[in-house]
């Protein structure tokens, strides 16, 4: 996310981000005992809010953290941040970061006491306009060495961070991960592979984050006559694909032009990507 805008939310109030403080005993700080969501807001309207809140509820439930807000409460936080940070007017597009930790506990015990008050933090950032003339993404591949519950959107992102850093140091923009020889997902994105007129992506399970954006991309692609099948694919098929796309809430759908230095298709953003990316841009504002 880009540089945050000035007004944040912390534990029940909107306040200047510069004044937001949490305890060093917060389990989010000590253990990454926390979950998060990232939501795109376009022309003042959150995209796929229900899907994000459902995934947040799943992450919280799996960690046995009681949800501190109901749907209307989360919605009020998101819209309050958008309004207070000039969303829709000064900044037409905004990214919202929402984090819930289990809360502060003096014992620093691995076992968690019941009844802690979760820490809720949220902030906004201005989004740059999407560039449909992008030269595309260079991706590196690496073994997926994350834990086995990637369906939980946990702030414990060290494996993702190290892989993304390795990609950056290798001159790539993203790391596409493989487990047992099959593509799982990007370090911060879902992976879609186009073979002919069929999009392929790994079925949801505990080994990937169920992306919110990928579901909308599939709908948009279907409307453009592109089919979809859930299938985990090998590195060889990834490299031989007609097109490879990445999707994520703030990124939308991005074309991968190179994987491990090898061109995908022509080595330029593909024609199917352009059709779907343009339709997605219209859809996210409709
Ligand atoms: C590991 C991972 N997979 C997939 C995604 C895409 O999810 P979404 O489309 O909901 O942003 C993300 C987004 O940050 C991610 O971090």
142-184, pLDDT tens digit by residue?
999 999 999 999 999 999 999 999 999 999 999 999 999 999 9
Instruction: Tell me the residue range of the domain where 184 lies.
Output: 137-284
Q: Do 149 and 121 belong to one domain?
A: no
Of 126, 146, 161, which one is at a domain's C-terminal end? 126
Of 126, 152, 175, which one is at a domain's C-terminal end? 126
Q: Do 144 and 246 belong to one domain?
A: yes
Q: How many domains does the chain have?
A: 2
Which CATH number is 213's domain given? 3.20.10.10
**2 in a domain, yes or no?**
no
144 in contact with ligand 1, CB cutoff 6 A: no
Of 93, 126, 159, which one is at a domain's C-terminal end? 126
How many residues are present in the chain?
A: 286
* Whole-angstrom distance, CA of residue 63 vs CA of residue 60: 5
Catalytic residue among 153, 164, 218, 251: 153
Q: Which residues, in sequence order, are bridge partners of residue 101? A: 34, 119
Q: Do 243 and 145 belong to one domain?
A: yes
Maximum C-alpha span of the chain:
57
* Whole-angstrom distance, CA of residue 118 vs CA of residue 171: 39
pLDDT in tens, 96-150: 999 999 999 999 999 999 999 999 999 999 999 899 999 999 999 999 999 999 9
Its sign, for the CA torsion 240, 226, 94, 11, is negative
Check: pTM over 0.95? Answer yes or no. Answer: yes
pLDDT in tens, 196-217: 999 999 999 999 999 999 999 9
Q: Do 117 and 178 belong to one domain?
A: no
Residue among 248, 250, 251, 253 to mutate when testing ligand 1 (max atoms within 8 A of CB): 248
What's the confidence (pLDDT) of residue 11?
Answer: 98
């Amino acid at each position: 996310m880009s540089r945050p805008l000035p007004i944040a939310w912390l534990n029940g109030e909107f306040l200047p981000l510069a004044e937001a403080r949490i305890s060093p005993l917060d389990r989010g700080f000590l253990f990454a005992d926390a979950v998060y969501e990232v939501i795109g807001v376009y022309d003042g309207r959150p995209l796929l809010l229900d899907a994000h809140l459902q995934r947040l509820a799943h992450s919280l439930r799996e960690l046995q953290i009681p949800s501190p807000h109901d749907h209307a409460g989360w919605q009020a936080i998101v819209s309050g941040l958008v309004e207070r940070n000039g969303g829709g007017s000064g900044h037409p597009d905004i990214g919202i970061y929402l984090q819930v930790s289990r809360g502060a506990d003096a014992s620093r015990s691995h076992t968690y006491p019941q009844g802690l008050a979760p820490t809720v933090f949220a902030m906004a950032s201005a989004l740059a306009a999407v560039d449909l003339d992008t030269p595309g993404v260079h991706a590196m591949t690496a073994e997926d060495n994350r834990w086995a519950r990637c369906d939980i959107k946990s702030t414990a992102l060290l494996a993702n961070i190290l892989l993304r850093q390795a990609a950056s140091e290798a001159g790539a923009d993203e790391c596409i991960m493989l487990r047992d020889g099959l593509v799982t997902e990007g370090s911060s994105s879902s992976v879609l592979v186009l073979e002919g007129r069929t999009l392929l992506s790994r079925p949801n399970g505990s080994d990937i984050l169920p992306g919110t954006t990928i579901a909308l991309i599939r709908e948009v692609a279907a409307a453009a006559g592109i089919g979809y099948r859930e299938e985990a694919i090998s590195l060889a098929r990834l490299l031989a694909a007609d097109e490879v796309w990445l999707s994520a809430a703030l990124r939308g759908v991005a074309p991968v032009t190179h994987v491990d230095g090898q061109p995908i298709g022509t080595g330029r953003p593909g024609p199917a990507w352009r059709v779907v990316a343009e339709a997605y841009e219209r859809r996210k504002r409709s």
